[in-house]
């Protein structure tokens, strides 16, 4: 897995892991998730610090939500890579299989869409958040261009 980190913290609610922190805070109306890193995720201490910083800035979730929040957008030639937190405020672990993920503007207009096989992500523990990288290849991009700012990542629920 390629190394990555960034300063992007905008996103919308709509992330076998190694625990980076076991702290979580469940309140009557809101849930704070613990940040986890996937066992195959090869990150530096500096990247871990940046992810922890962005994770702390995320708003608390309501109980029983699954959310995705974008951290960083980078480009490799015609491809776009999004780093995001997948967040789980359920009281139980979850697993994903094939999931549609989209890059959208603030009005919900879809700029890119791709079905990702997230079975390799494994189980996302209860009340946790995990960092994951999404590669949108040139053929997945539906817009003329995707700006570096003012984008959001979202689940494409059917």
Burial of 59 (0-12, 13-18, 19+ CB in 10 A): exposed
Among 118, 131, 121, residue whose Cα is nearest residue 84: 131
- Domain membership flag for residue 7: no
Please tell me the distance from the alpha carbon of residue 134 to that of residue 33, in angstroms, as a whole number: 21
Q: Which domain holds residue 24?
A: 17-155
- Look up the pTM and report it: 0.77
CATH number at residue 53: 2.60.40
Residue 9 has pLDDT above 70, yes or no: no
- Residue 22 · residue 64 · CB < 8 Å: no
Question: How many CB atoms lie under 10 A from the CB of residue 51?
Answer: 24
| Helix (H) and strand (E) counts in the chain | 1, 10
Number of domains in the chain: 1
Most confident of 23-32, 37-46, 69-78: 69-78
């Amino acid at each position: 897995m390629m190394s990555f980190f960034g300063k992007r913290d905008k996103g919308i609610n709509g992330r076998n892991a190694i625990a980076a922190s076991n702290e979580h805070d469940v309140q009557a109306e809101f849930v704070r998730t613990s940040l986890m890193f996937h066992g195959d995720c090869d990150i530096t201490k500096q990247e871990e610090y940046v992810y922890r910083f962005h994770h702390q800035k995320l708003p608390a979730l309501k109980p029983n939500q699954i959310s995705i929040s974008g951290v960083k957008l980078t480009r490799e030639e015609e491809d776009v890579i999004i780093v995001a937190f997948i967040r789980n405020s359920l009281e139980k672990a979850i697993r994903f299989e094939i999931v549609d993920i989209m890059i959208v503007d603030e009005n919900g207009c879809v700029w890119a869409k791709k079905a990702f096989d997230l079975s390799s992500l494994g189980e996302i523990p209860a009340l946790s958040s995990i960092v994951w990288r999404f590669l949108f290849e040139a053929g997945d991009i539906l817009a003329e261009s995707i700006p570096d700012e003012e984008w959001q990542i979202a689940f494409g629920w059917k």
